[in-house]
């Protein structure tokens, strides 16, 4: 495969300014639509997850708006500046596993403890980028065990999709059918079709509330962190491993497979710094996209590899604009029935649940350890005030080491 180097290795300011000047000429209709499609996908499942987490944590509307502001703006700045710097379609995102982890963690930890965990996780990711030990760190914990923990963390979202069937069967069934039909015909954003059909059914059943939207800029809410050993082990440690393995690793792999160099350490440092700055305002972390990264990096976005960076720029700019209107987003989604939001979050995570479960159990060498991790994480147990993801990870690694010792 021919490697397109972009502006890697060139002076930062001159390369960034040159790519910015070239942007109007380099932008094509296909790159524009790809960038907007990424935003549209991010406005469905991930936002629904945030609203579910906010509901579980009893967040105020201002706190939820601040969360969306920190996530959207941080992700936008990440993708915008890195795409301009390297002339590579780098897509920013916030970690959906981190949102899912927060939902499980809020049962045992305060919001202030969650903020402290996000701060520590961001600092650890910066440290990984500075030291360049990304790959070595990934090798310490078997990937199937981490994937099993991820599957366990996301499991309840998939189950919640079907728990809503007795409550609102028409909406859930219609969204399920729309999702699988869209996948059958190869549409790149099947969850968007589910949202559209779900909205249509909700309107027909008169389940959409009258919106009271205020077109105002988001007002960030500062939350002072409260550090505890429990939150570090239960939230910060699993969050760091999940972000590195489920966001940065596949996100960089997408760029490599598309013929681009991967500025991994720079992305880690920059994403960690943005996450650190956004954490006190309830931001759940900024990182490279995994699922949506392929939309902007492939030839479908733009046949000319030197122009695809414009998809990342369009996506980043749109993220920032939406983030500034976080309060409006919360008000808009607040008009929707809870069954629609739960179904949207569940459908948006179906691919992640399926792939993480498959990756965790496909290798016979790690299958027992992965099963222990998965079942412990799903159990929700929290001895010593430490959450199930921590115990699942610990038990999975221990099971793997014992099995490895027995085999040798």
Nearest to 393 by CA among 176, 141, 165: 141
Is residue 3 predicted with pLDDT exceeding 60? no
- Report CA-CA distances (Å) from 275 to 71, 364, 368: 9, 36, 35
Q: pLDDT at position 375, please?
A: 92
pLDDT tens profile 53-80: 787 778 888 888 888 899 999 999 999 9
- Residue 175: pLDDT band by 50, 70, 90 thresholds? very high
Output the CA–CA distances (angstroms, integers) from residue 120 to 63, 116, 260, in the order listed.
21, 6, 31
Those residues whose C-beta lies under 8 Å from the C-beta of residue 245, and which sit 6 or more positions away, are 138, 143, 146, 147, 150
Q: How confident is the model at residue 309 (pLDDT cuts 50, 70, 90)?
A: very high
As a whole number of angstroms, the distance between CA 196 and CA 81 comes to 32
Place of tokens 């038990």: 395
Residue 293: what pLDDT? 83
Report pLDDT digits (tens) over 115-143.
999 999 999 999 999 998 888 887 778 88
In whole angstroms, give the CA distance from residue 171 to residue 58.
25
Inter-axis angle of helices 190-204 and 169-184, to 10 degrees? Answer: 150
Quote the crossing angle between the two packed helices 388-407 and 367-379, to the nearest 10°: 160
Q: Does the predicted model carry a pTM greater than 0.75?
A: yes
Give per-residue pLDDT as tens, 254-289: 888 788 888 899 999 999 999 999 999 988 889 998
């Amino acid at each position: 495969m021919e490697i397109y180097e972009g502006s890697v290795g060139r002076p930062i300011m001159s390369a960034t300014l040159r790519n910015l000047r070239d942007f109007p000429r380099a932008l094509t209709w296909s790159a524009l639509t790809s960038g907007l499609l990424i935003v549209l996908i991010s406005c469905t499942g991930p936002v629904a997850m945030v609203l579910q987490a906010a509901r579980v944590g009893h967040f105020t509307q201002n706190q939820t708006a601040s969360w969306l502001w920190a996530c959207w703006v941080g992700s936008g700045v990440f993708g915008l500046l890195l795409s301009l710097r390297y002339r590579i379609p780098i897509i920013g995102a916030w970690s959906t596993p981190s949102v899912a982890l927060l939902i499980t963690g809020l049962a045992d930890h305060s919001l202030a403890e969650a903020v402290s965990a996000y701060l520590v996780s961001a600092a650890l990711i910066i440290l990984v980028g500075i030291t360049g030990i990304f790959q070595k760190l990934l090798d310490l914990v078997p990937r199937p065990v981490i994937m099993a923990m991820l599957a366990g963390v996301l499991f309840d979202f998939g189950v919640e999709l079907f728990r809503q069937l007795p409550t609102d069967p028409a909406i859930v069934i219609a969204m399920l059918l729309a999702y699988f039909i869209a996948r059958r015909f190869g549409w790149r954003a099947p969850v968007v079709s589910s949202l559209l059909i779900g909205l249509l059914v909700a309107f027909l059943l008169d389940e959409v509330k009258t919106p009271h939207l205020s077109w105002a800029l988001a007002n960030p809410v500062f939350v002072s962190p409260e550090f505890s050993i429990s939150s570090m082990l239960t939230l910060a440690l699993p969050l760091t491993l999940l972000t590195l393995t489920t966001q940065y690793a596949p996100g960089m792999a997408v760029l490599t497979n598309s013929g681009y160099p991967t500025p991994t350490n720079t992305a880690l440092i920059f994403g960690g710094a943005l996450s650190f700055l956004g954490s006190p305002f309830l931001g759940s972390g900024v990182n490279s996209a995994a699922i949506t990264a392929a939309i902007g990096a492939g030839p479908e976005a733009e046949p000319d590899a030197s122009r695809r960076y414009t998809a990342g720029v369009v996506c980043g700019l749109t993220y920032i604009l939406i983030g500034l209107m976080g309060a409006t987003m919360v008000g808009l989604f607040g008009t929707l029935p809870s069954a629609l939001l739960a179904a949207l979050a569940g459908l948006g995570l179906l691919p992640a649940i399926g792939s993480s479960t498959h990756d965790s159990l496909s290798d016979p060498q790690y299958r027992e350890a992965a099963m222990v991790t998965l079942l412990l994480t799903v159990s929700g147990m929290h001895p010593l005030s430490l959450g199930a993801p921590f115990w699942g990870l610990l038990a999975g690694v221990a099971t793997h080491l014992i099995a490895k010792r027995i085999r040798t």
